[in-house]
Copies of this chain bind each other. A is one copy, B any other.
């Protein structure tokens, strides 16, 4: 019956799939990787585990779909909006790094997925890595490579170090209470110190 604005059957495949995906997120958030058991996922979703096999082909399929559902790079897409970049990408790089530092710290799901990329080697993670590479390629090939010419590769290496350093520190700060190089990465003070360093290093690189 389609008299209501939305036909709402009590049994809805799409909605159930969403419940499973949300269950993965919830468990990942509370118990971590080791908590991702089919039985637990089903219980958390409030549905029968058989459906995981019917809808996703199994636990791996479900997890793959969960990872794919997180579009990591949506927040870093170019906001320049047609503005011509004439500083060799200095401002863009700096903004990107600083916003990543903030974004990853706040987004625990992303942290888990990044960790996954270091632990496992599943297909869905490769897709994510490829996204990052493609996204970066636009910055490098379009802007910084022409600007740095001979030293283009060195610039890429610097960004690689900073990006991965940012990831590591953000994840470290979440799971550990301990300081890192004497800096409290959870405090506003420690974090602003890292931000200063990022800004400083980019400035120096463009000198």
Contact = CB atoms under 8 A, between A and B. Distances in A.
Contacts of A126: 176, 178
Interface residues of A, number: 51
Contact of A164 (B129, B175, B180): B180
Interface in A155-196: 156-169, 171-172, 175-176, 178-183, 193-194, 196
A178 B188 CA distance: 34
Nearest to A196: B154
Nearest to A201: B201
Give the copy number: 2
A137 interface: yes
Interface in A92-139: 115, 117-121, 126, 129-130, 133, 136-137
A143 to B, nearest CB: 13
Contact of A119 (B115, B117, B140): B115
A53 interface: no
B32 A194 contact: no
Contacts of A120: 175
Given A136-B181, A161-B201, 16 more contacts: A115-B115, A117-B176, A118-B175, A126-B176, A129-B178, A140-B182, A154-B196, A154-B200, A156-B182, A156-B183, A157-B194, A157-B196, A160-B169, A161-B198, A165-B168, A167-B168
Contact of A182 (B137, B164, B198): B137
